[in-house]
Amino acid sequence: MAWTINPAAPVMETAAPPPPRWDTFAGEYALRPGAQPGVLGQRPVLSDGRLGQLLRGQRGDDVVHRLGSVFSLCAHAHQRAAALALAAAQGQTRDTARPPFALWLETARDHLRSMALDWPQRLPEADVAGPDLHWLRGCPLPLFARQAPTDASAALDQLGQLRAWLEDRILGQSIGQWLQACAAPEAFAHWCQAQAERLPPARFLSAWYPLASRLHIPAHGLQVLHQDPMQQKQRLIELAQAMVHQSGFVQHPVWRGQCAENGPWTRLRHSPQQQGVPRSAWWRLSARWLELLALAQVASGASDDPDATGAGGMLSTGALWLAQGQALGWCEMARGLLLHWVQLDASDGVLDYRVLAPTEWNFHPQGALAQAVAALASNDQAPAAMLAAAFDPCVSCTVTT
């Protein structure tokens, strides 16, 4: 029997716990089963004017490096979006038609890191000794890289090594064969159950499946990117205006009057998607595993010519000049669509800067996650933790009672 979250269902109020310590630079979120709102939290660094103050007067690579330090968990994506925005603001164009192999590689690494380090913490029986990383033996991608590769051929080579490791050590067959046999939700669950003893991510997913497959939440995916360039341009301009002119927008974004989800299940390559259709938490959880395989698979047949392989749209990335010294840069990364907006002064120093990241969409206090958590019983910590894994925050997230 499916369990569908009804946004209109009454939720019993409970006494609010002490607020999270939001005075930290990175911020944090708290999930509150049975309470309204189901999510509390924010990131102070994204408050109005904060990044602009931090970066004011800085130029070029200094801005890119500083943002990599501020957003260290997804540094490669923030640095990419920043470099694109800065170049566009100065009237420069960068070649974004070719497949961004380094972005693919680092996104695959981010997915592996979430599975290896974050998922174990979301289980009720989390091992106090730390996560089991033996399954990663021989993996060509260390969970943490000192520096993202800038050479496309080197990134493509590592993706090829990742594919070989996945096929030889994890799947026992080609990715194409596995996807044909196991990509369907129930088939994937059966595979996870069969592999649970030897493979920790399969064990975690198998443990979550009974609940995740029954917990259905209406999906309203973020629809900013579009296959039609003119429609996409208009939407990006509209979003940039909201980032700049609506106070608090980048911390609690609402798109065209509605909260939106932003994750690997809302990619441009998956569009168009029906809005408001109930989708399971399993659909959201499995999207990360399926994208890891897709990135490794498509890279093996990719070349610098996206039209030759059909691989150019795997992860969308680009920039848009908006006005004198002003531009928007974006990329689809592990957690969803990331956007950077910049306004430069006459000497190309930063005058103002805004970042709109996936976590702020997904952990909105009136968003799909918050509604799902609020509809739980007050002592339902396990499903709340599972939902945290599905929506994958890039900052600390705890479940309160």
> How much is the average pLDDT of 274-286?
85
- Per DSSP bridges, beta strands 39-42 and 317-323 are unpaired
Q: Residue 165, SS3?
A: helix
Q: What is the residue whose two structure tokens read 């997804």?
A: 74
> Mean pLDDT across the chain, nearest whole number?
88
Quick one: tokens of 118? 């974050």
Question: Which of 40, 44, 59, 99 minimizes the C-alpha distance to 355?
Answer: 44
With cut-offs at 50, 70 and 90, classify the pLDDT of residue 127.
Answer: low
What's the rounded Cα separation, in Å, for the pair 130 and 139? 19
Please tell me the predicted confidence (pLDDT) of residue 313: 75
More confident residue, 16 or 142: 142
pLDDT per residue as tens digits for the range 149-160: 778 889 999 999
With cut-offs at 50, 70 and 90, classify the pLDDT of residue 294.
Answer: very high
The conformational region for residue 207 under phi > 0 = left, psi -120 to 50 = alpha, else beta, is: alpha
> How much is the average pLDDT of 93-112?
85
With cut-offs at 50, 70 and 90, classify the pLDDT of residue 14.
Answer: very low
- Residue 25 contacts residue 51 (beta carbons within 8 Å): no
Dihedral angle, C-alpha 299, 302, 306, 308, nearest 10 °: -150
Please name the helix (run of DSSP H) or strand (run of DSSP E) that holds residue 204, with its range, or none.
Answer: helix 200-212
Q: What is the residue whose two structure tokens read 């968003």?
A: 367
Other C-beta atoms closer than 10 Å to the C-beta of 124 total: 9
Q: What is the residue whose two structure tokens read 């994208």?
A: 291
Quick one: tokens of 39? 């999510």
- Residue 216 contacts residue 210 (beta carbons within 8 Å): no
The identity of residue 266, as a single letter, is: T
At 55, give phi and psi (nearest 5°).
-105, 0
pLDDT per residue as tens digits for the range 296-309: 998 776 555 544 44
Please name the residue ranges forming H helices in 246-392.
Answer: 281-300, 306-309, 358-362, 368-374, 381-391
Please tell me the predicted confidence (pLDDT) of residue 109: 97
Dihedral angle, C-alpha 214, 220, 226, 231, nearest 10 °: 160
**pTM of model > 0.85:** yes
- Residue 363 contacts residue 30 (beta carbons within 8 Å): no
Radius of gyration, CA atoms only, the chain: 21
Please tell me the predicted confidence (pLDDT) of residue 268: 87
The identity of residue 14, as a single letter, is: T
Dihedral angle, C-alpha 310, 314, 315, 318, nearest 10 °: 10
Please tell me the predicted confidence (pLDDT) of residue 21: 43
Burial letters for 69-90: b for 16+ Cβ neighbours within 10 Å, e otherwise?
Answer: ebbebbbbbbbbbbbbbbbbbe
Contacts of 394 (CB under 8 A, 6+ apart): 71, 73, 74, 335, 357, 358, 359
Quick one: tokens of 88? 């566009």
Q: Residue 341, SS3?
A: strand
Please name the helix (run of DSSP H) or strand (run of DSSP E) that holds residue 159, with its range, or none.
Answer: helix 152-165
> How much is the average pLDDT of 184-193?
96
- Residue 341 contacts residue 244 (beta carbons within 8 Å): yes
